[in-house]
Amino acid sequence: MSIDNAQGIPRAGFAVPGFVVFAILAAIVVALGDTFPWILDYPSEWQLPIIELVDGGANWLIFSLDFGLFTFKELTRALAWLVSVPLEWTESALVSGFGEDGAVRIPWFGVLCLVAIVGHYIRGWRLALAASLGVVYLAVFDQWRPAMQTLSVVIVCVPAAALIGLVLGVAATRRPWIEKPVVVLVNLMQSIPHYAYFLPVVFFFGIGLAPGAIATIAFATPPMARCALLGLKRVPAEVLEAGAMCGTTPWQRLVKVELPSARPTLMVGLNQVIMQTLGMVVIASLIGVKGLGYDLLFSLQNLKLGRALEQGLAIVVIAIVLDRLSQAYAEEAPWLRHRPERWTARHAHGIAALLALAVLIPLSQHWTILHALPASWTISTAAFWDDSIRAVTDGLYGVLTVVKNFLVIYVFLPIKKACQSLPWSLVILAVGAIGFRLGGWRLCALVSAMLLAIAASGYWDVTMLTVYLVTVSIILCVVIGIPVGFIASRNETANRVIALWCDTFQTFPSFVYLIPVVMLFKVGDVAAVMAVVIWAVIPMIRYTNLGLRGVPSDIVEAAVSVGCTRRQLFWRVRLPMALPEMLLGLNQTIMFALFMVVIAALIGTQDLGREIMLALSYSDIGAGLVAGLCIAFIGIISDQLIGQWSRQRKHALGIA
C-alpha cells in the first residue's frame, strides 16, 4: 500500500522505500559530478546579489526616502523618541530617580509591597509571599539595580507588544483580506531568530535603550497576534448573535462581547508576551540595553562563571515571578469575582498600593536602607560557585572528557561530514521529493524554492553547518525526550515531577543555559549542542506525554482484549496513535533548536549564528538579514513537512 500524496488516502501499488530512492538519486548525482561539477557545488557565479540588494534598499530607505513632510530617517527618529519617553519614566521611577539628586524613586521596599499587593489581589497570601520572596532575593543578592533596569524595559514593552498584537488580531478577524498576510507575517517573525531583529533596528535606530526596546516589542508581538486571532475566531456564534440582538454597535460588540469571551486565550497570549519580552530584553544587552543581560554577558565573556550564575539566577527569579503572576491572573480571573458594593472595598488593593508609595517614597529619602540594602547585608555566592565549579570540573574531568570525545568522534564528526559532503542539488531534490510525497506540487515548490534561495544567497555551506548542529541536537532530544515523556505518561508522580521540571526550565531565559554547559564542556560545538538540548527537549517531552495520554481508552481495551502484550500495546497501538502529537513536538523542538543555535554562537560555533553575530558587530544589515532568513527558511521547511506528515497520520488514523 502507498499513500496518495495529496489526500493521505491509502492506495494499491508497490511503494519503493524512501532510502532506496535517496540512494539512487545520490548515485546519479555523484556519477554526474565529474562531468557537471555544478551538480556537487553551487557555482559562485550563480549566486544572486541578495546581500547587496538588501544593503542598497536599506540605504535608500534611510538616506533617500522622503514622504514630503518628513523623511524615513526622521520617522525612525520620531518612533525612537516615542519609545524613549516611557522608558525614561520607568527607569527614573525604578532606578535613576526624579529630580536633580535622583532621590525620588520607588525604593526596593516599595516594589516589595507592590508585588505583595498584586499577588494578594490575584490569588491571596500564598502567591503574595512567593512573589515577595523573589523580590527579597534580588535585594539580598545585590542584583537590585540591574534587575530594575531590566524590569523598567519589560514594563514598557509588554503593554506595547500586547496592544499591537491585539490590534493585528482584531484587524485580521474583521477583514479577511488582512488575515492571510497577518498569518504569514506572524509565522515568518516567529521563525526568525532573536539576533536577526537587532540588525535592522541597529541600522535604522542605532544602539541603546530605545532601539533595544523596539526590537523587543517586534519580537514579542507575534504570540499576542496569534492568540488574539485564535481567541476571537473561537467565540461561539450564539454569543455573537446574542450581542447583535441586544443592539450593540460593532465597537460595543468587540469590547463587551468578543474580547471578554476570548479573554482566556488572550491571557495565554499575554503570558507568552511577558516571557518573550524578558528573554529578548536579556539578549538585547548586545545592542546596549543595560540590566541583568548586560552584566551576564560581561561575566560570560570574562569567564566569571560564579558571578554569571548569580546574575542568571536573578533573571530566572524575575521570570518565575512574572510567569506565576500572569498565569495566576489568567486562571483566577479576579475580574469575575463578586464585587463589594462599597467603593473602598472594591478598590482596597489599589488604595493600599497608593498608600504604600505615598509613605515609602518620602521615607526613603531619609532612610537610605529603604533605597538599597547596606553592603554588609547583601550576600554574594560567586566565590562559592567558582570553587564548586572547579571541584566539579576537576572531579568529572575524566568522565566528561570520555563523554565529549565519544560524542565528537562517533556522533558529531560523522553527521558534520555527511552534511558538508551532501551536494546541494541532491538536498534540494530529496527535500522536494519529500514535499511532493506529503503535500503535492505546491509543497514541493515551496520547500525547493526556499532551499534554492539559500544556495543562491551564498550561505549554503554555513547553512549545512547549522543543519548539522540542529540534527545532532534533535537526535539527542528525541533519545531523551521520548523515554521521559513515556515515563510521565505511565506514572502520575513522575508526571507531576517532570511537568514541574519542564515548567521551571521553560521559564528560564535561553541565555541562562550557556552557563552550565560552559562550566562542564568549555566552548565549542559540544557545549553549544548541550545548551540546545536543555532548551529544546522540553516540547519533545510534553508532546510525547500528551500524545500517549491521549490514546482513546476503548482502543487500548480492545487491544488488551485480543491478547496484546505490554510491549505490543506500546509499539503497535499507543505509539502509532500518539505519533501525530509527537510529530508536533518534534516540530516545536526543531524551532527551539534553531533559536538556541543562534544564541550558542556566543560560545564558539561556526554556523549561521556566527554570521549573524559578525553582521551585528559590523552593522551589516544585508548579511545579517539574509543569514536570519536562511534560518527562518529551515524552520519553515521543517514546519511545513512535519505539519503535513502529522495531518496525514491523523487522517489515516481517523482522528483528523
In the prediction, which pLDDT does 18 show?
62
pLDDT at 151: 92
- C-alpha gyration radius of the chain: 27
Q: How many helices (H) and strands (E) does the chain have?
A: 30, 2
What pLDDT is recorded for position 337? 62
Q: Which residues contact 428 (CB under 8 A, 6 or more apart)?
A: 448, 451, 452, 455
pLDDT bin (cut points 50, 70, 90) of residue 8 is: very low
Check whether 6 has a pLDDT greater than 80. Answer: no
Q: Does residue 628 surpass a pLDDT of 50?
A: yes
**The pLDDT of residue 633:** 92
Inter-residue contact 592 to 262 (CB < 8 Å)? no
Q: CB–CB of 220/89 below 8 Å? A: no
Per-residue pLDDT for 21 more than 80? no
38-72: pLDDT as tens digits: 888 888 889 989 889 988 998 898 888 888 888 88
Question: What is the tens place of the pLDDT at every residue in 417-455?
Answer: 989 888 898 899 889 988 988 888 999 999 999 999 999
The per-residue pLDDT for 10 is 41
Closest CA relative to residue 154, chosen from 272, 293, 277, 329: 277
What is residue 565's DSSP assignment? -
Mean pLDDT (the chain) is: 85
546 pLDDT above the threshold of 50: yes
Q: What is the pLDDT of residues 142-172, one digit of tens each?
A: 899 999 999 999 999 999 999 999 999 999 8
State the Cα–Cα distance between residues 44 and 54, nearest whole angstrom.
19
Where residue 102 falls among pLDDT bands split at 50, 70, 90?
low
Share of the chain above pLDDT 70, in %: 94
**pLDDT tens per residue across span 300-336:** 777 787 888 888 888 888 988 988 888 888 776 665 5
Assign domain 72-94+105-392 to its CATH superfamily.
MetI-like (1.10.3720.10)
For residue 9, pLDDT over 60 is answered with: no
Place 634 in a pLDDT band, splitting at 50, 70 and 90: very high
Q: How far is the C-alpha of 561 from the C-alpha of 263, rounded, in Å?
A: 45
What's the CA dihedral at 595, 597, 598, 602 to 10 degrees? 140
| 541-556 average pLDDT score | 86
Q: Bigger pLDDT: 87 or 397?
A: 87
Q: What is the DSSP string of 275-343?
A: HHHHHHHHHGGGGT--SHHHHHHHHHHTT-HHHHHHHHHHHHHHHHHHHHHHHHHHHH-GGGSPPPSSH
Nearest-angstrom CA–CA distance, 537 and 479: 10
Looking at residues 540-564, what average pLDDT do you find?
Answer: 85
As given in the structure block, the three cell numbers for residue 515 are 552557563
Lowest mean pLDDT among 196-205, 273-282, 367-376, 438-447: 367-376
**Predicted local confidence at residue 16, as pLDDT:** 55
Q: Measured between alpha carbons, how far is residue 506 from residues 279, 400, 401, 539, 551 in Å? A: 11, 26, 29, 9, 26
- What pLDDT score does 14 carry? 43
- Domain limits, CATH 1.10.3720.10, in the chain: 72-94+105-392, 396-653
Check if the beta carbon of residue 311 is closer than 8 Å to that of residue 143.
yes
Fold (CATH) for 396-653: MetI-like fold (1.10.3720)
As a whole number of angstroms, the distance between CA 537 and CA 383 comes to 31
Residue 216 has pLDDT above 80, yes or no: yes
